Structure 1
Amino acid sequence: MRGPSGPRTQARWPFLLAVVMLAVAAVLSSAPRGSGATVYDARDAALRREITKVFADSRVTASTAKVGAVVRDGSTRSRIYLRGADTPLAPASTQKTFTAAAALGRLGAGYRWATDVYAAAPVGAGGVVSGRLYLRGSGDPTLLERDLTSLASALRSQGVTRVTGDVVADASAFDDVRYNPYWSTSYASSYYAAQVSALTLSPNTDYDAGTVIVTATPGASTAVLPHLTVTPASAASHVRLVNRSRTSAAGSATTIAVSRTAGTNTITVSGQVPVRAAATRKWVTVNDPALMAGRALRARLGAAGIRVDGTVVRGTTPKARTLLARHSSMTLAQLLVPFLKLSNNSHAEAITKTLGARSGQPGSWASGTAALRAYAVAIGIPTTGLRLVDGSGLARANRLTPNQLALLLDKVQRATWWSTFRAALPVAGVDPVRWQGGTLASRMRGTAAAGNLRAKNGSLTGVTSLAGYVSGADGRRYVFVMMSNYSGTSPRPVEDRLGVLLARWRMTNR
């Protein structure tokens, strides 16, 4: 129904239109953004100009580089700067933020992995387990040899004295594809690309599951070969060390290297370690981690005074069974610290396959990455261009857009577990390296970003990325992402320049 149109009404129209336009502009400047047209807050114009100057760096503008970036206000969610924000790029380890967030959202901060010891029937007279003893893993990437010692002690305290059958290593909670088909085969010996198994051991509290540490101690003279040992000690029955190293003259360089022959547990140690030098340690992956864990349990049973008549085999636990002992892992919240601070790939893949196992089938990369994608959809992240084939970002086939990563970082700030997520991120310029600063401990030292910027970095040959949070000089929190795929000079220094700029920025006219 049309209203009055007399002179008084007509005179009010310009005023009313101006009011409406101002109101719409205010809503657009503060509302959460989708993937439509970009609307910026005019108060950020000066900061946007400074960021533009940072990205004028030749390492960013080179034709051999694809660089995407997003900067957002961490509270109002307004966009401050965009560059190639919807371009799918290989993320490297910044992808771990997706894996960590999905784990907290789907499993919960208090989630623990169980490693169980079963028998087919209750312990018999005289403490005899008739038949096989089953060691069943559920994906714990933090299981240590000492945890198996505790399981053996628990059995001994129940009066177990003998096992008449084999020790069965049960890794059936995950599928049998232990090495991701998208990973380069050249990685196979490297600690960062260990085989992923539902039953696996870590050699120490860095929790590099599926690896052993080879220690080379120099001989008393150059005529004596270095002495080699392996950690955990029980792994000595699982691997075969080939010593091609030598003791070199005092003062010479240490050049010890280790490699594992594909499909075997033959580990070759080469290079040199000088007389009177400190022992050197090298991490190397193992083949069939579940079998190594089973052999370790058998050794610990023997040390506890429990005789095992059989050997160690792989298999599955029968449905009719008796639980004899259980080890529970640290919580997921606790695991996030070594996972994100140290950028631990084995943790990412164990989490991914665990998420996949929630479907009721053995955890796999297919089901696990489908769960990661489903989590993105559930929290409202557009998935155009998204491709995940592992949980760690090690595979070069992964693709994320800067916008997708920024949206994730923005949305998790409003989750109940955000403080846990934030605390686990590496911190720029802070020691000690491993448990506070993590992989960013040596970056942005002595700047406004040191002790302030919390982010996940990523690095592969031709890939560098940084994504996280930083507070400006006025306390304003920023969400930022920078992702680069390049074939020339690395744009990584520009990541630091961006972080420092945001940390020093003070917004005026707020």
Structure 2
Amino acid sequence: MSNAAEETPPSNAFVPGGRRRHRMPSPNSGSPARRALVLALAVPVASAALAAPSAFAASGPGATATAADPTGDIDADDQQMAANLDARVLDQRLGDDVSGVVLDADSDSTLWDHNGSTALMPASNVKLATSTAALSVLGPHHRFTTKVVYGDGTLTLVGGGDRTLTGADLAELAQSAVAGLKRAGLTSVKVAVDDSLFPAPTLADGWNDGYYPDTVAPVRALVVDGHGVQDTSLDAGQAFAELLAQHGVTVAGDVTRGTADRTDVPVARHMSAPLADIVKKMLKTSDNNIAETLLRMTALGAGRPATFEGGTEVIREVLGRYGVSLDHFEIHDGSGLSRTDRIPAATLAQILELLTEPHHAHTLGAILDGLPVAGEAGSTLGPEWGRFDDPNSQCAVGKVRAKTGTLTGALALSGLTRTDDGEWRVFSFIENGSTAAPNDTKDAMDGLAATVNGCWA
């Protein structure tokens, strides 16, 4: 499991050691502004505009830089936190290739930076970018529709990009379809599936065949119960046909793949839960399949092809419009499974910092709500994953919200916590290439998060 048209930022962008990170004006969270963003994304953007200047200066290999504050406003607790991080980031369990950033979201200052602009493999922290783009383009109340239509003796199950469709949902669709057939005096039909909303599945750059179908299934617009199979569409169609048969309808021949005709008669439809709920589910469990489906639906929502390339292009544009630095930002999928993805910790921290701004709460609030909580059973920070159970990090249970990221040779933890005074601290830590036992590396990284919280002083 993987745990995998911007404007030019103002010239006074923050440099580590400075006081402020000046961001571009962000899209208003209201519906008209979101529609304006979608319209803007539908207009092709010159590739030169995709290289926004970084809000963070390079620190140089191996450098540790506790941010200086020329105004003298960093208090003693934050100074101690930064000093502790300077020492603890050198923990051999983290290896030598580590980056990290800690932001004070309330004062808009950087409290600590260690190679923060160095782009490393982020694993599932990519899902933070995917979620931000999906919610911004589609809106938190967006729902995905699965339909059944009838024409020329065939019932066609039409996929609408709902990766959360359940067997119970499919049973309701079948029941409605059977009722319609009986009213029409029909007792026998053919069954087809239409998953033409997405092009045929391909591997992303940095993926391999070994991912299929357990780590991630080939990305299709139709699936039931999240089945990890090679052809989720035909699998859903066969389940649908069995349900029809259980209700006394004869299904002629095998389930086939086809394309619904515009003249086909609507028979039944199912609406998914709101996107906000789907994003929460995806983040809590780091669901790769939901992430890749959302990438394609986001691309379609912005008027782009439902491909890896179309989706990642929209992610870049959305982040750019929020003022997030895209220096050294390179992603090839929506889940973070790609081993060629690269994101600086500074960029991930900037994405998370958006969640602390009240005017983004309507649009992006589902991300904050969906972040796993340290010690939360059923999430990727739960005890079943051995997280926050070390003596140094146990104090942060219930106090840290963060997205995990885990691939062979890569571990990331990016999130938020509040101080005793209620102030937001945003952090991102990434390590690549540690040779320590994975659980030991996780313990060391959880300790960094506990340090930011201040409970491990």
Is TM more than 0.5 here?
yes
> Is 1:119 equivalent to 2:150 in the alignment?
yes
Q: Where in structure 2 are the equivalents of 1:357-368 lying within 5 Å? A: 357-360=300-303, 363-368=306-311
Match of 1:416 in 2: 361
Instruction: Tell me the distance in 1 between the aligned counterparts of 2:206 and 2:379.
Output: 30
Match of 1:268 in 2: none
Match of 1:323 in 2: 266
**Alpha-carbon offset, residue 367 of structure 1:** 0.7
User: In structure 2, which of residues 19, 22, 25 is the aligned counterpart of residue 29 of structure 1?
Assistant: 19
Aligned positions, number: 386
**Alpha-carbon offset, residue 476 of structure 1:** 2.5
Match of 1:197 in 2: 220
Match of 1:58 in 2: 92
User: In structure 2, which of residues 449, 452, 457 is the aligned counterpart of residue 502 of structure 1?
Assistant: 452
> Is 1:100 equivalent to 2:131 in the alignment?
yes
1:63-83 residue CA offsets vs partner (Å, 9 max, x unmatched): xx3111000112122100001
**Alpha-carbon offset, residue 160 of structure 1:** 4.9
Matched residue of 1:466: which SS?
A: strand
Code of the aligned partner of 1:494: A
- Mean alpha-carbon deviation: is it higher for 130-139 or for 415-424? 415-424
Instruction: Tell me the distance in 1 between the aligned counterparts of 2:301 and 2:270.
Output: 20
Match of 1:485 in 2: 432
**Alpha-carbon offset, residue 182 of structure 1:** 2.9
> Is 1:407 equivalent to 2:350 in the alignment?
yes
**Structure 1 unpaired stretches of 5+:** 1-26, 121-129, 203-208, 212-284
User: In structure 2, which of residues 254, 260, 284 is the aligned counterpart of residue 311 of structure 1?
Assistant: 254
Q: Which has the higher strand share?
A: 1
Matched residue of 1:142: which SS?
A: coil
Match of 1:176 in 2: 200
Instruction: Tell me the distance in 2 between the aligned counterparts of 1:406 and 1:359.
Output: 25
Match of 1:154 in 2: 176
1:271-313 residue CA offsets vs partner (Å, 9 max, x unmatched): xxxxxxxxxxxxxx31211111111111111112222334311
Matched residue of 1:416: which SS?
A: helix
**Structure 2 unpaired stretches of 5+:** 1-16, 24-54, 59-66
Higher relative contact order (CA 8 A, sep 6+): 2
- Mean alpha-carbon deviation: is it higher for 75-84 or for 181-190? 181-190
Q: Kindly tell me: are residues 51 and 68 of structure 1, through their superposed partners in 2, closer, same or farther at Cα, counting changes over 3 Å?
A: same
Q: Where in structure 2 are the equivalents of 1:436-475 lying within 5 Å? A: 438=382, 442-445=386-389, 447-475=394-422
Q: Where in structure 2 are the equivalents of 1:58-457 lying within 5 Å? A: 58-60=92-94, 62=95, 65-120=96-151, 130-158=152-180, 159-160=183-184, 162=186, 165-180=189-204, 182-190=206-214, 192-202=215-225, 209=226, 211=227, 285-360=228-303, 363-414=306-357, 415-417=360-362, 418-430=364-376, 433-434=377-378, 438=382, 442-445=386-389, 447-457=394-404
Max Rg structure = 1
Matched residue of 1:79: which SS?
A: strand
Instruction: Tell me the distance in 1 between the aligned counterparts of 2:111 and 2:251.
Output: 66
Instruction: Tell me the distance in 2 between the aligned counterparts of 1:362 and 1:399.
Output: 23
Code of the aligned partner of 1:287: Q
Matched residue of 1:448: which SS?
A: helix
Q: Kindly tell me: are residues 492 and 471 of structure 1, through their superposed partners in 2, closer, same or farther at Cα, counting changes over 3 Å?
A: same
1:429/1:441 contact within 8 Å kept: no
Please, what TM-score do these two structures have when normalized by structure 1? 0.71
Matched residue of 2:372: which SS?
A: coil
Instruction: Tell me the distance in 2 between the aligned counterparts of 1:321 and 1:360.
Output: 25
Code of the aligned partner of 1:197: R
Q: Kindly tell me: are residues 70 and 181 of structure 1, through their superposed partners in 2, closer, same or farther at Cα, counting changes over 3 Å?
A: closer
1:474/1:506 contact within 8 Å kept: no
**Alpha-carbon offset, residue 338 of structure 1:** 2.2
Instruction: Tell me the distance in 2 between the aligned counterparts of 1:133 and 1:182.
Output: 38
